[in-house]
Structure 1
């Protein structure tokens, strides 16, 4: 069975408008910031895939260990007929769950949602080819805006893997989880991957690898702004900075200006000044404790939580049910 035509809720002009707004707001704020979603053009996605293979970057490997061990149990507990993945990318880890659910029987539909139409076309075609009995229905959308577009009906299991929820600030997380619960029916399931609080000596190198791949990934956001908005950032004039914030229990990635500079962004009719040593925050990646995540899920209307972790207790996977 071939993949169905993509369902488009996010056009190129929507992405362009979102970038313009985020850049205008973030670079005129004090202190300056940008959201991490703009890392992921084609080059940024390649760099991130490279990051996931680095020896320092444990989250992808640890989550895969959990899913490989627990996929059959997840399939039995949920008996899902529709599998939905948010921010699906290549959907590679998802295959562990697709295998378990199709082996169990009953799974009829796979719905990956991602902002990238080109990435979705490739991944949905591959999934449809490898799982010929499965209906594959890709949705081009933003998981912070388009949860109400998820298909209704069937016994649904929604995946939000990779620790991506950690990129949302606490108020954003609460809004996301409330929106997720509103999009589901009682009895539907949510499977969520979270990086766990641990010794910063393990966490920090995952964002500051010896090969410098994450540094290039971080600077890539400046290249995106140069290309899309005509800006004249010199990415080489910014140093990659990683900090562990013990109060909030999150990692911050920043770019530090190595010299004073003025950056022109013609498409926004904007000029932005950087002082030497001034930092631009590009990502927050929160780490979680089991009880804290359980409280957030409960507040949003999820219960029946089952929590698994890898043998080294680096990464957690939580299965929760909408009540």
Structure 2
């Protein structure tokens, strides 16, 4: 199943993640994801039952989440995002008259959840996902150090020295054989953040009928990840590091040019970089500011 590798120092993890090691990381073979807690599963935000905004919280008074209710939740989150962008005069990549016509007939997806999400909506879903809206997409990156940055950045914001952060590597060179998952790669022009982060997504469809209870399956438990592989490289690798090493991991990523101001072009990224530093070194932040 999952191959697990534990590290004690940030330097060890950075060395292991080096893209120059073509034996460990053959080009185009793996995508990466960083998470602040090693116990977190690889679950899209729309499927996380602990989230305040979720299908489960919406339907808890009505007997749980069926396939149709899960689609209803995701559909309305996307439609609300598009309407909010309309009000702000923002163009959403992939949006079109045809997409709006498809959304006008949203009841069809609730009747047949297996059709969700249709390919035509995936660019808009990706934009929504990158801006914090709950979707069935899970963010990954082609760049290992970008995943390390996100693991470290999120870990310093919720300090827990007894915990471990995680960087995952998912093998995708045989993703064309997947049946329950799909890999979504979009043009860099979809969003500036997507381009800067070399972002890519896995898409988890709803494998339930309209009335059947919906239960999500985390990516690490999907058979697609481990079947039909050729060669010695594993389907999924989980790398862990004590969160006490997160500040140093941020430093090493910055030395490699991977930091907030680069990954989030614009004012958002500049502010994120300052906040990363303030969270990582709260007691000496003023001294480091002049460096």
- TM-score by structure 2 length? 0.28
- TM-score by structure 1 length? 0.26
